[in-house]
Amino acid sequence: MNVFQEVAQGFVDALQGIWTSSGFIGNDPRNYIMIVIALALLYLAIKKEFEPLLLLPIAFGMLLVNVFPGITANPSTEMQLVTDYMAAHGNVAGNYPIVLLNGQEYYQIPTNGGLFYYLYQGVKLGIYPPLIFLGIGAMTDFGPLIANPKSFLLGAAAQLGIFLTFIGAMALSIFTPQEAGSIAIIGGADGPTAIYVTSILAPHLLGPIAVAAYSYMALVPIIQPPIMKALTTKKERMIVMEQLRPVTKLEKILFPILVTILISLLLPDAAPLVGMLMLGNLMRESGVVSRISNTAQNELMNIITIFLGVTVGATATGEVFLTPQTIGIVVLGLLAFGFGTAGGVLFGKLMCKFSGGKINPLIGSAGVSAVPMAARVSQKVGQQDNPGNFLLMHAMGPNVAGVIGSAVAAGILISILR
């Protein structure tokens, strides 16, 4: 064989090696379906701007993991004969542990995991969601809630969706109680809370649950208005609420401290979420750590959002995502949102009646959290019947109460089902 033939043979072998190690050979057909879904989500994030800050990294993580599944590979240990290793490395001994198997010495050579394996540890260990809550707390003004504490009740009523969906999921008989609890928390309309609960109760469902939760959060302006209109009369929707009283700085500072103490003592499982939410808020309201507060609101929040988004998206591989369970999760998630909205609005009607018509029931729908989108929906639906009505600040009360309410509900689910 001459040099030319050897080079040609080497070229063919190299091409064969590239081809056999490529995704075209190694990937499952389901990966390609997931790639199409990821592209559709990217379209919704970029073109339709549906929660793009989250949907874009989630969709790209989904795309990447289905193109190259090895990106989530666990670290492993490769066994190699010491003699083979030394022959391949110019007789230089390796610095690895040696084990004796069948009378032969082997090096235990560690192999690094894929990039997303390491980034995913923040999800798996429940680190990212509380950090996201820190940023949310630093961005949230609890003033409307402090000015009108009755809003807390609307935030509680809107959690109805979580508990009714749990019953629905159990009734399907294809989910374990832990899986049903993770699906039900979608009704809290709070992405980090859904991820936190699922990472503890049913980590294998993280992909479909996160995608369903964030997709429905993005669709709040489409899902909520028909339910709000169906459950209220025009007269109720036109109610103009009294202006909120001003809230002092001392009240705003005391609020996160009191909430943390009370909820953490009562529901320790909710402490990581509520504690970080309130720490962020205390940093904001105290006014003495503006640099840290700014970092929590901006840089930290953005970094964690990237890590959380891509790694959660990366859990949606074809074999995990394309199952009957996912269809069940998608349907139940929608029901959870619907029940939550209905619960808030119906309780708002009740409060309207008891207050002598002073409360507009539309603000009840904002109790599902999804800050500030759900509050904006209350404002928009209210203005359709009464253009001079400004419900936004009134709806922000139940909206932020919903964040606390869903964290409490999460604590209850974890306590009971873990």
Partner 1 sequence: MPNFLALQTDDPVVLSLTILVTGLIVVFLVLIVLTAIIKGYGTAIFNIANKEEKTREEPVVAARTATPVTQAVPHVEAGIPGEVVAAIAAAVYSLDGMSGSAIHSIRRARKASRSAWGMAGIMENTRPF
Residues contributing to the site for partner 1 (CB under 8 A):
145-147, 149-150, 152-153, 155-157, 159-160, 162-164, 166-167, 170-171, 173, 177, 181, 245, 247-248, 250-251, 254-255, 258-259, 262-263, 266-269, 291, 401, 404-405, 408-409, 412-413, 415-418
Task: Report the interhelical angle of 301-313 vs 115-124 (nearest 10°).
Answer: 110
Q: Which is nearer to partner 1, 235 or 291 (CB)?
A: 291
State in angstroms the smallest separation of the CB of 261 from partner 1: 10
State in angstroms the smallest separation of the CB of 349 from partner 1: 17
Q: Which is nearer to partner 1, 74 or 173 (CB)?
A: 173
For the chain, what is the total number of helices (H) and then of strands (E)? 23, 3
User: In this structure, what are the phi and psi dihedrals at residue 286, rounded to the nearest 5 degrees?
Assistant: -65, -35
State in angstroms the smallest separation of the CB of 21 from partner 1: 46
Contact of 368 with 337, CB cutoff 8 Å = yes
State in angstroms the smallest separation of the CB of 248 from partner 1: 6
State in angstroms the smallest separation of the CB of 50 from partner 1: 29
Look at the block and give the residue holding tokens 């007789």: 91
State in angstroms the smallest separation of the CB of 93 from partner 1: 49
Q: Which is nearer to partner 1, 18 or 288 (CB)?
A: 288
Q: Which is nearer to partner 1, 327 or 416 (CB)?
A: 416
Q: Which is nearer to partner 1, 311 or 369 (CB)?
A: 369
Q: Hey, what are 182's tokens?
A: 């993770």
- Please name the helix (run of DSSP H) or strand (run of DSSP E) that holds residue 100, with its range, or none: strand 98-101
State in angstroms the smallest separation of the CB of 83 from partner 1: 52
CA-nearest of 167, 155, 218, 103 to 332 is 167
State in angstroms the smallest separation of the CB of 258 from partner 1: 6
CA-nearest of 348, 399, 153 to 232 is 348
User: How far is it, in rounded angstroms, from Cα 62 to Cα 120?
Assistant: 13
Q: Which is nearer to partner 1, 58 or 146 (CB)?
A: 146
**3-class SS of residue 288:** coil
Peptide bond into 221 cis (omega under 30): no
User: How far is it, in rounded angstroms, from Cα 311 to Cα 303?
Assistant: 12
The CA dihedral of 283, 285, 288, 290, to the nearest 10 degrees, is: 60
Q: Which is nearer to partner 1, 310 or 413 (CB)?
A: 413
The DSSP secondary structure of 242-281, one letter per residue, reads PPPPP--HHHHHHHHHHHHHHHHHH-GGGHHHHHHHHHHH
- H-assigned helices in 47-125: 52-67, 82-88, 115-124
Contact of 119 with 311, CB cutoff 8 Å = yes
Q: Which is nearer to partner 1, 220 or 414 (CB)?
A: 414
Q: Which is nearer to partner 1, 47 or 291 (CB)?
A: 291
- Please name the helix (run of DSSP H) or strand (run of DSSP E) that holds residue 293, with its range, or none: helix 290-295
State in angstroms the smallest separation of the CB of 73 from partner 1: 32
User: How far is it, in rounded angstroms, from Cα 378 to Cα 383?
Assistant: 9
State in angstroms the smallest separation of the CB of 203 from partner 1: 18
User: How far is it, in rounded angstroms, from Cα 135 to Cα 128?
Assistant: 11
Q: Sign of torsion, CA 173 346 223 392?
A: negative
Q: Hey, what are 38's tokens?
A: 């990821």
Give Cα 154 to chain centroid, integer Å.
Answer: 23
State in angstroms the smallest separation of the CB of 44 from partner 1: 32
Contact of 216 with 142, CB cutoff 8 Å = no
Q: Which is nearer to partner 1, 90 or 246 (CB)?
A: 246
Q: Which is nearer to partner 1, 44 or 180 (CB)?
A: 180
